[in-house]
Amino acid sequence: MKHLFMIITAVAFILVLSGCVGGGGPTPVTEQYFIEYTPPAYDSLSRLDESIKVERFSVPRHLNCHSMFYKPAPFKREAYNYHNWRVNPGDMATDCLLRDLRASGLFRAVFSYRNYENARFLLEGCVEEFIGLYEHGPGEALLKLNITLLDMDAENVTSRVIFQKNYQISEALESRTPEGLTRGMSRAMYSLSEQITRDIYDSVDLKRKSS
């Protein structure tokens, strides 16, 4: 009985070892991507003595993951194997806009949803699309954001909304690859970040002057 146990143990060890070494080779490493760009500059605008808090952006269920999606044809959505976004698109857009608002120097303070501090103006957002469109030509990076700016000092809750606006941009891709999609999405985020920051600035300035 003892010898039988030893034989079974040895066979099991050999099977495990062969599975690790002699299988289909090493498992491919998943590469991770993050959009990068230099924050926009606003040299012609003066600093406002107001603070803003940026809430964590939401995403639809199909974007609540790290997959790099692309659309090869109508009604189809696919994702790259072994290539992922470093974080989900909602968190990536939140972090980029938060960084850009701080780097702009246009406001007294810009707080994250991770901070305990409160601010008069609250920025909320939703990433509605974050995808490569490969149906025609070299392809495009499509980015859609829905942004809401709130005045938390408003006495009436119904009058807190200063503006709610949809932002959309498509950037041509250099190549239909994960790297090409990341570069295109970086340019798209830069453009929308600049538009959103200017709209926030104009709205906060107007609200401040009318208070």
Q: What is the pLDDT of residues 50-87, one digit of tens each?
A: 999 999 999 999 999 999 999 999 999 999 999 999 99
Report the 10 Å Cβ neighbour count for 63: 20
- Which SS3 state, helix, strand or coil, does residue 170 take? strand
Low-confidence ranges of the chain (pLDDT < 70): 1-25
User: Span 2-210: which CATH code?
Assistant: 3.40.50.10610
The distance in angstroms from the start CA to the end CA of the chain is 90
> CA–CA distance from 53 to each of 66, 177, 195, 199, 207 (Å)?
25, 35, 18, 15, 16
Can you tell me which residue has the tokens 């408003």? 154
d(CA 197, CA 30): 34
- Residue 121, burial from CB neighbour count under 10 angstroms (0-12, 13-18, 19+): buried
**One-letter identity of residue 165:** K
Any idea where the domains of the chain sit in the sequence? 2-210
Two structure tokens written together for 70: 């692309």
Q: Residue 200 has what pLDDT?
A: 98
pTM, entire model: 0.85
Nearest to 170 by CA among 104, 71, 75, 31: 71
pLDDT tens, residue by residue, 150-169: 999 988 877 899 999 999 99
